[in-house]
Amino acid sequence: MEKYTGKAIFKGVAIGRILFYGKQENTVKRSKIEDTAAEIQRYEDARKKSIEQLNSLYTDAVKKVGEENAAIFEVHAMLLDDDDFNDSVHNMIETQKVNAEYAAAVTGENFSRMFAEMDDEYFKARSADMKDISERVISVLTGKETNYTFDEPVIIAADDLMPSETVQLDKDKVLAFVTKFGSANSHTAILARTMNIPALINVPVTPDWDGKMAIVDGHTGTFYIDPDEETVKDMQAKREKDLEARRLLQELKGKENISLDGQKINLFANIGSLADVGSVLQNDGGGIGLFRSEFIYIGRDTMPTEEEQFSVYKTVAENMAGKKVIIRTLDIGADKQVDYLGLEKEDNPALGFRAIRICLTKPEIFKTQLRAIYRASVFGRISIMYPMITSVEEVEEIQKIVTQVKAELDADGIPYGEVEQGIMIETPAAAVISDELAKMVDFFSIGTNDLTQYTLAMDRQNDKLDRFYNSHHKAILRLIQKVVENGHAGGAWVGICGELGADTSLTETFLQMGVDELSVSPSMILPVRDAIRKSHAKKA
């Protein structure tokens, strides 16, 4: 028996055979061609087919795992439209008279190396993406497609897994995954937790393990190869204990989210699409604390109309049958792009033209969404929250636009309901002036993912920073406490909708801080409810 220790990114026990998942590297040979125009057209046809594949994958992934986790496909489609990349391929074909496969492979390698050597962490992260998109085009050119389905359930072992690969895996056939590289805060890690798949990173994976029996212990971060009978027996008992715990959680359906000393808290769900609503209801969510509206805008060629948006918001509100639905307004920007908005490339998009900054700069887009939301508010309990707020002036400008929208609806004789107004606290600036902001809105929702990233000045997807990245940092917890206190003093209720809200090691801390609501992925509703019911809201 061999035993290895890695870093666990999702708890659970998996027992089964290993499938070593090697990337299907296309062997590309350099060939001389005569008709360069025909070869360029061949490349363009393959590029367009690749973009069609990515758009289709995005649509499927949004339904399975939500817009945020599906965004990787949109990023790849955007990169395949990059003029510099395509000009390089065209130029190689024309000047060197080489085949499209070779030109795409060399360009992908060159761009990947160039990004890897940049100081900016965002562009460093694009290095692997450049390799990924060139491989996709080459696969189309050669007719060799990667197989993401398996005959039997397996433990996937790999050097690394791109989010684009993880999303396509047949969830029913994946027991767990184990990788050599990766970050605990990467999109892939978040996706694994969303899909409830036990996972380990930083394990010295080798192709020799393919076909061997193995055990993943996501509780201790241990990986066993060819386990002995005693270990198998122990792990089977541990797995059965996990399954029993899940069964017990089902008994919490219909129970209150109330602490041992009688403190109640709202427990809502984060969703990214209409398809997620069923999971919210199945897991007994009390409402929707974050509806990411971006998915309506992404993966299409034109702006969604007011009627299209209204139909989505109305359906969600009706399906939730009177339970609260908090819709986050358009949060486009950074690595979530839509071509039809014509946004320029930025050196540091995470700190750039995104979210509310786009809405306030392009008020007609903003007003269309607000009209759709207000019209849908007749069909349920809808609230609105605005992302990436940094100042009082931004909120004042939002309020003026909301007033205009309501006046227009009144003039048109269109009814609407009472709509709570809230803002996301995800920048240190908003947290620091939360005492002033609280007097202007009905509620705060703390986005801990970005709040942590901006407070610590660390890219949460950069695996080199794992040893420094600490979501439990005192600065983060103090900011949350400050926001809760300022919110309540100003008459606003306060929720948490970031990943930290599902961290059950902090549930009691949040109760003692006075947090009013936690919004988590649907699969975490019952585990968090269990933690609430075992906690004390008052300090001893």
The catalytic residue positions are 187, 497
CB 110 within 8 A of CB 130: no
For residues 298 and 461, what is the distance between their CA atoms, to the nearest angstrom?
22
| Residue 426 known to bind ligand | yes
CA angle, residues 442, 445, 450, in degrees to nearest 5: 145
Amino acid letter for position 62: V
The verdict on whether residue 196 carries a ligand-binding annotation is no
**Nearest by Cα to 291 from 310, 316, 319:** 316
Quick one: which H or E segment has residue 403? helix 392-411
* Nearest alpha carbon to residue 437 among 423, 454, 452, 420: 423
Structure tokens at 54: 């990515």
460 known ligand binder: yes
Q: Could you give the CA distance from residue 201 to residue 6 in angstroms, rounded to a whole number?
A: 6
User: Is 328 assigned to a binding site?
Assistant: yes
CA 46 to chain centre: 28
Reported for 453-458, long-range contacts at CB under 8 A and 24+ positions apart, including other chains, are: 453/350, 454/426, 454/427, 454/428, 455/428, 455/479
452/462 Cα distance (integer angstroms): 14
Q: Is 94 annotated as a binding residue?
A: no
Q: Tell me the residue ranges of DSSP E strands in 91-205.
A: 154-158, 174-179, 199-201
Which secondary structure element, helix H or strand E, spans residue 222, and what is its range? strand 222-225
Binding site annotation covers 210? no
On whether the CB atoms of residues 161 and 21 are closer than 8 A, the answer is: yes
Binding residues for phosphoenolpyruvate: 292, 328, 449-450, 460
Binding residues for Mg(2+): 426, 450
Binding residues: 292, 328, 426, 449-450, 460
